[in-house]
Structure 1
Amino acid sequence: MARPARVRNHDFEQKRNALVEGLSQFAVTAELRRTSLRQFAKAVDVSEPTLRHYFKDRQGVVVAILEYMGTFGRSVRGDFAAPSDSITNAVKDYYKVATPGPQFEMYTRAHAVGLIAGIAEDTAGKAYLKYMLEPALTANTEKLTATPGSPKSALELPRGRLRHPLASNLHGNTSDTAGRCRGSADRQPGDHRAASDLAR
């Protein structure tokens, strides 16, 4: 007998988690571009209706992937948040993670996937901020705060003010983003306002 509409199968979460893992693996290894629901379904060898059953729509798939990749990145962020012995080495540590390479390739590609999805779609952008970008920025702030010689005066600003310009762009809509970009471009030499002030 067919299952009534909107009633989940008993192993729903288990199957959904397996799909998320497969979809995430596909996302970080495939060509970096916007992927259709059909392509996602083909990648994990299921039908589009199956993906709709577990994720509702394409955006649901993307958000689930971003959440999974954010969880995947916890160990990298945890290691990175540890203080360095100097600001110079803290910056070097940052570039080891941020620069594409074999050690952190999956982590950097995950952020590339998040950026592509987030810039194109508001819902994905908010998910990228929540699960990936803001945790990464928090780890960076924690590292700098605990590193000897860190610029304490900048880091003493309220955390909400310490926002990456990209984070501000993703929080806003297209017109807001365009306005912020114009505002940054209009700055004159000698205008030393904090980037966080311009991004508000």
Structure 2
Amino acid sequence: MTTARGRYAKGRQRREQILDTALEVFATGGFHASSTKEIARRVGVSEPTLFHYFGSKQALLVAVLQARDERSAAARAEPGSGPEALLETVRDNGSEPGLVRLYAVTSAEATDPGHAAHDWFARRYDRLRTALAAELEPGAGPGADPGADPGAGAAPAGELTPDRVARLLLAAADGLQVQWLLDRPPGGAPVAPADPADPADPGGFDMAADLRALVAALVPPR
């Protein structure tokens, strides 16, 4: 006899299986070209069962992005790490061009207030900016409050406040990843790295190194 706890565990396991499979399908074929029927087939369930867990294809996309985001280096960052978690995330993304493309395309489409992922992306950017700005505050460390908003109020033109630097770094990270995608040859085949000694640079240039150079220029040494 299956207990309620057993059914819950099985349902949770099935949900995770759907998310993992959907991520693979969306990252490989793109959101619009991928079908929920194919995702359901790979998982081994019917399409109605898939929609039992996720009410629509758009809702599944948001859940996929959120689940993947929660596993990123930025989400695992320890207090006091500063921009290092962002740098690590960008470096890790170098091995997942399909995922980077999925984020880039969806974030652009989500600027439409009617898009299913609009609110999620808006909250995500606000959360990342606020947390990074708190880490960049002078004297920030393990005791810093990531829930505080150091960017309250307009900063004078030209002043590099923690909030402004955080916004610039996030914008640079996203922009570098788009350039990296465009730098790849048709079909996504690997190209020779900019640094032959660094085999982990499949896009022709090192996104994390470029971002680190910007961090060095904008963030005073601790």
Higher RCO structure (Cα 8 Å, ≥6 apart):
1
TM-score, L = length of structure 1: 0.49
TM-score, L = length of structure 2: 0.45
The answer to which structure has the higher helix fraction is: 1
